Amino acid sequence: MSFPKSFSATPAVSAAKRERRKEARPGELLDAALDLFVEKGFAATRVEEVAARAGVSKGTLFLYFQSKEELFKAVVRENISGRFKEWNEEFEAFQGNSAEMLAYCLSTWWERVGATKASGITKLMVSEAKNFPEIAVFYQKEVIAPGESLIRRILQRGIDRTEFRAMDLDYAVYSVVAPMIFLVLAKHSTGVCVQANFEMDPKKYIAAQLATMLYGMSVPAGDTAHKSRKAPA
């Protein structure tokens, strides 16, 4: 007795589907983990929940990630720290002046991280890092240190090209970092960081912060035109 070709091919097709499914599992687990870490925090997220949301067993999860800590590290690498190679390459290729580079840095970070669910990792670290020293050390090494290093390179570029004044870079980097952390906290704390009935516009916020960084709040000496103007209502 012979079977139709379509019938005899079914096992091979099924095997190929299973193989594709197996290859997709790490990404599905990382997506599920990101969702839950942002929704519930690190401490409250259980690996069983991650596995269930990804549609696999707890045992399957441990085939790819040995612990919740390793799963969290993989999520950070996938969504944030894995991008630093790309960002540093963009720094090397950038053709504009340093003010334009700083503006590009802030807007690009917002588009690629801040405006995405991955920005919730920042809030998680602010609230939970002290209770989990291992992930705090990891985050410092793979996100904070390279992030501050890139900002420092941008500021040093401006100084070297006499586009920025000389400054203490050990502290100046925080003038760039702090406003962006505030923006993320405002986003993930349902706006409690801003005044009532005020909707934060990220693009306008970044533009305002950038203007303050670049030009400050003081009117240049002898600039009577600025002194005669009234602040916008």
Please tell me whether residues 65 and 85 are part of one structural domain: no
Please tell me whether residues 196 and 176 are part of one structural domain: yes
pLDDT at 176 (0 to 100)? 96
Distance CA 68, CA 60 (A): 13
3-state secondary structure of 205: helix
Distance CA 124, CA 38 (A): 7
Please tell me whether residues 92 and 179 are part of one structural domain: yes
Say which DSSP state 114 is in. I
Structural domain of residue 49, as residue ranges?
A: 9-71
Please tell me whether residues 65 and 151 are part of one structural domain: no
pLDDT at 12 (0 to 100)? 47
CATH number, domain of 48, equals 1.10.10.60
CATH number, domain of 125, equals 1.10.357.10
Please tell me whether residues 28 and 62 are part of one structural domain: yes
Please tell me whether residues 64 and 108 are part of one structural domain: no
Distance CA 185, CA 119 (A): 9
Token pair belonging to 9: 């091919």
Residue 231 resides in a domain: no
3-state secondary structure of 193: coil
Residue 191 resides in a domain: yes
| 102, 154 Cβ separation under 8 angstroms | yes
CB atoms within 10 A of CB 200: 14
Domain boundary among 50, 71, 92: 71
Please tell me whether residues 97 and 21 are part of one structural domain: no
Please tell me whether residues 14 and 106 are part of one structural domain: no
Residue 30 resides in a domain: yes
| 47, 61 Cβ separation under 8 angstroms | yes
Distance CA 170, CA 148 (A): 9
Residue 19 resides in a domain: yes
Residue 169 resides in a domain: yes
pLDDT at 17 (0 to 100)? 45
CB atoms within 10 A of CB 159: 15
3-state secondary structure of 8: helix
Residue 222 resides in a domain: no
Residues with pLDDT less than 50, the chain: 1-8, 12-13, 15-17, 19-20, 231-233
pLDDT at 188 (0 to 100)? 86
Distance CA 116, CA 80 (A): 11
Please tell me whether residues 20 and 115 are part of one structural domain: no
Residue 18 resides in a domain: yes
Please tell me whether residues 85 and 21 are part of one structural domain: no
Torsion of CA 63, 85, 175, 127, to 10 degrees: 0
| Domain count of the fold of the chain | 2
| 109, 90 Cβ separation under 8 angstroms | no
